[in-house]
Amino acid sequence: MVPRFDVTSGGRRGNLQAGKIRGMTPAEDGNLAEDGILQPGAVALVTGASAGIGAATARALAARGVRVICASRNKARLDDLVTELGAGAQAIELDVADPASVESLIERLPEDLRALDILVANAGHDLGGRRPFDEGAVADWVTIIETNVIGMIRTCHAVVPGMVARGRGHVVTLGSIAGLGTYKGGTIYNASKYAVHGFTEALRKDYGASDLRVTEILPGLTRTEFAAARHRGDSTKGTAFYDSFAEVLDPADIARAIVYALEQPARVTVAQMVVVPSHEN
């Protein structure tokens, strides 16, 4: 039997290569269990799927036969992604900072995609650059909190009741190492990710006695459009920011962590996963 470890999605230089695990089948290693939520045909909603970690996650899930609903504000980019992913994928316009957009989300989905198995609440951003608190703009802070905190909570509130009613589901939130420790110039973004951390921990406790799983993924520096968005779309500044570090992660590295959490047997909850660049610790 062929081992189901995926070394094609970014781990080519990693220590665990197919040759080293020869003969280990999914049943033997207890992974990819038949009672796990990540099965072909499962339905997943990924917010912030038009770029970065969300797009990589949509690709990773679609590659496993999951029907992925790709959501964000930029419908044209989502349409391109869905074309790439092929049958089963669906694009939907969603602004997590707009209550009406989130409240109508489930009813705007095709009927056969409304029973969500998986939510990856990934949409998020920083705005205005890293700067001392007194130099920041209130309007920027409002959109950070509206998106990263209230938008994420709103999205969960639109999806979780259905999961509770069906007795099954898996919510993955995107925290950050910025939610475990602070840095200069990060007051509001740090606050937003500390909020994601607290919310996710408490959410897991609310459903600990049920088959609703809750996972927080906490990435370190990952090369996406995030740094450019922080500078209002200035990709030169975004690239220069990532280039100033010895090593940054690839969005596929985080997608792999998300898939790992989702593919566990029903008895296993990956509560948190901190994923950082090897040479930037």
Residues 202-241 that bind ligand NAP (CB under 6 A): 219, 221-222, 224-226, 229
CB of 66 to ligand NAP, least distance (A): 18
Beta carbons of 67 and 90 less than 8 angstroms apart: yes
* Nearer to ligand NAP among residue 36 and residue 90 (C-beta): 90
Binding mask 150-189 for ligand NAP (x = CB under 6 A): -x----------------------x-x-------------
Contact call for residue 194 and ligand NAP (CB under 6 A):
no
Residues 125-144 that bind ligand NAP (CB under 6 A): 125
204: which DSSP letter?
Answer: H
Take residue 177 and report the two structure tokens written for it.
Answer: 């190492």
What tokens does 41 get? 């045909």
Strand 212-219's sheet: what is its strand order? Answer: 90-93, 67-72, 43-47, 118-121, 169-174, 212-219, 272-275
Active site (annotated) includes residue 189: yes
DSSP states of 108-165: HS-GGG-S-SEEEE------S-S--GGGS-HHHHHHHIIIIIIIHHHHHHHHHHHHHH
CB of 163 to ligand NAP, least distance (A): 20
Pick from 51, 66, 144, 252 the residue near ligand NAP by CB under 6 A.
51
Among residues 38, 46, 53, 120, which is the contact residue for ligand NAP, using CB under 6 A? 53
Backbone angles phi, psi at 166, to 5 degrees: -85, -10
Amino acid identity at 51:
A
Site residues for ligand NAP per CB under 6 A: 47-54, 72-74, 77, 94-97, 122-125, 147, 151, 174, 176, 219, 221-222, 224-226, 229
